[in-house]
Amino acid sequence: MTCYKYFTDKWDIARTMLDGVVDRGMAAFHDMTEEEGPFAAKVQGMLMQTTSQIHTVGQPFLEDMMQENSPLHGYFREMQKKTRKLSVDFFMQAQKKGHIHSDVKMPVLLFMLDHLSDLLNHPDFVQIMPDIQQRASELAAFLFYGFARKPE
């Protein structure tokens, strides 16, 4: 009963929890992109941040939110739009600074980024490389060297 003094229903609890995860993730993303360091390390950090958020929320809860009939589906999509804008801004700035080749189309890059988390946690990849840090490094390097200019 005390719980419902502060929340209207279980979906309100879920939205509040999701708000906290997204807010902490956005703050970490902002800090990571603003600090000095190599671009490749920032890409790896973004991948690790996404994975951390997936683990925090939990795969079953995430899958439930992604289903269109879920009461949280619309809310989840709005949260995705907020976080996606940060990624778009970051990569557009990186392209302007020459970290990303000018011929790379931003929609293609964003499509690839949207699917990196799926690859990172894919059972076949986990079997090949059980350590999540190594998997994140490999994916970041693969992505980075696929669209980045060679260091001068």
CATH at residue 79: 1.10.357.10
pLDDT given for residue 146 in this prediction: 62
Question: What's the pTM value of the predicted model, to 2 decimals?
Answer: 0.66
Task: Give the integer Cα–Cα distance in Å for 3 and 124.
Answer: 41
**Average of per-residue pLDDT across 125-132:** 86
**Position with higher pLDDT, 128 vs 6:** 128
For residue 51, the SS3 value is helix
Whether 152 is covered by a domain: the verdict is no
Whether 59 is covered by a domain: the verdict is yes
| φ, ψ (nearest 5 deg) of residue 100 | -120, 135
Task: List, for residues 57-116, the tens digit of each pLDDT value.
Answer: 776 777 777 778 888 888 888 887 888 788 888 888 888 988 888 888 888 877 877 777
Question: Which residue range forms the structural domain that includes residue 26?
Answer: 3-147
Does residue 127 surpass a pLDDT of 90? yes
pLDDT given for residue 149 in this prediction: 53
Helices (H), 1-130: 3-6, 10-34, 39-57, 59-66, 73-96, 106-120, 123-128
Partners of 100 in the β-ladder = 148
Whether 104 is covered by a domain: the verdict is yes
**Average of per-residue pLDDT across 38-46:** 80
Whether 76 is covered by a domain: the verdict is yes
Q: Name the domain count of the chain.
A: 1
> pLDDT band at 128, cuts 50/70/90?
very high
Does residue 152 surpass a pLDDT of 70? no
